[in-house]
């Protein structure tokens, strides 16, 4: 049955699938590569196109339907909001290993992918963790603008996390955001990672309707409702207009 699931997943564009267990259920774990290219701008690559939650959710729904049609009585998909840590499931499903930047790295995809999974009552034999691991070169540690990786991962010093905080930023946080140069997210630790030297081509869905930079002109005069109507399908919009306006003022100030 596992090979039938993998074949079905490949037919809808998902080529990295592993299996593990969680809470007495089988977990079908899938990777969704999104890297296309670096473009001049102020957005992280993952925020260029349609919000990955939408794309992953729709793909997982198809897998759920396939499992139910194949004999499962329960199948539910999760993308970043499920009852378990997605990276931990991906590790135990044999889909990657942890890098020094705390990201999951797949031997073929590098770290530019999203993780989604389906929990089902169908009994599926778990896979084993992948052999090998991070090269340990330390490039991500040295390149991080907030020194967030020197002693494990420190979210308070991560530019990506800071770019998504609500409210006013401290002077140190604002300085770090400006140093990183991103209005939303950050790719610096991934750019220098040798595991990403041959990052896999993205799923076609991540090549559509892309935006590479957010400007004040794009946001000026928009109500919150208008902002959601225009940009609500992009990952950079999930924290709302005010966070982007604040970050732009810092970057441009």
**Where along the chain do its domains lie?**
2-120, 139-198+208-252
CB of 111 closer than 8 Å to CB of 193? yes
- Model pLDDT, residue 199: 79
Distance CA 181, CA 188 (A): 10
- Model pLDDT, residue 148: 97
Nearest alpha-carbon partner for 68 in 114, 122, 146: 122
pLDDT at 84 over 70: no
Residue 212, CA atoms < 13 Å, CB-side half-sphere: 8
Percent of the chain with pLDDT over 90: 91
Nearest alpha-carbon partner for 140 in 156, 159, 116: 159
Distance CA 116, CA 78 (A): 6
Active site residue 80: yes
Classify burial at 171, counting beta carbons within 10 Å of its beta carbon; exposed 0-12, middle 13-18, buried 19 or more.
exposed
Q: Is 29 helix (H, G, I), strand (E, B) or coil?
A: strand
Buried b (16+ CB within 10 A) or exposed e, 75-95: bebbbeebeeebeebbbbbbb
**pLDDT band at residue 82 under the 50/70/90 scheme:** low
pLDDT at 173 over 80: yes
Active-site position among 58, 65, 80, 209: 80
Distances in Å between the Cα of 80 and the Cα atoms of 162, 168, 182, 252 are: 19, 26, 22, 32
Mean pLDDT of 82-107: 91
Percent of the chain with pLDDT over 70: 98
Residue range 124-172, pLDDT digits in tens: 999 999 988 999 999 999 999 999 999 889 999 999 999 999 999 999 9
Please give the helix or strand (H or E) that residue 21 lies within, else none. strand 16-22
- Model pLDDT, residue 131: 86
């Amino acid at each position: 049955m596992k090979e039938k699931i993998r074949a079905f997943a490949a037919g809808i564009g998902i080529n990295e699938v592993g299996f593990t267990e969680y809470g007495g259920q089988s977990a079908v774990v899938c990777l969704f590569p999104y890297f296309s290219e670096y473009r001049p701008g102020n957005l992280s690559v993952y925020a260029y196109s349609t919000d990955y939650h939408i794309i992953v959710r729709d793909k997982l729904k198809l897998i759920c339907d396939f499992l139910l049609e194949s004999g499962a009585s329960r199948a539910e998909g999760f993308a970043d909001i499920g009852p378990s840590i997605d990276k931990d499931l991906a590790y135990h499903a044999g889909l990657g290993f942890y890098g020094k930047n705390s990201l999951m790295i797949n031997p073929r995809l590098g770290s530019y992918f999203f993780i989604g999974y389906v929990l089902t009552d169908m009994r599926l034999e778990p896979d084993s963790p992948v052999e090998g691991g991070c090269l340990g070169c330390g490039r991500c540690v040295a390149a991080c603008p907030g020194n967030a990786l020197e002693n494990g991962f420190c979210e308070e010093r991560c530019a990506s996390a800071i770019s998504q905080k609500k409210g006013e930023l401290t002077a140190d946080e604002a300085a770090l955001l400006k140093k990183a140069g991103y209005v939303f997210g950050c790719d610096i630790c991934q750019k220098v990672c040798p595991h990403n030297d041959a990052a896999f081509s993205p799923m076609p869905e991540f090549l559509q309707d892309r935006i590479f930079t957010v400007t004040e002109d794009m946001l000026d005069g928009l109500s919150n409702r208008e902002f959601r109507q225009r940009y609500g399908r992009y990952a950079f919009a999930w924290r709302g207009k005010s966070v982007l306006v604040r970050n732009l003022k810092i970057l441009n100030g």
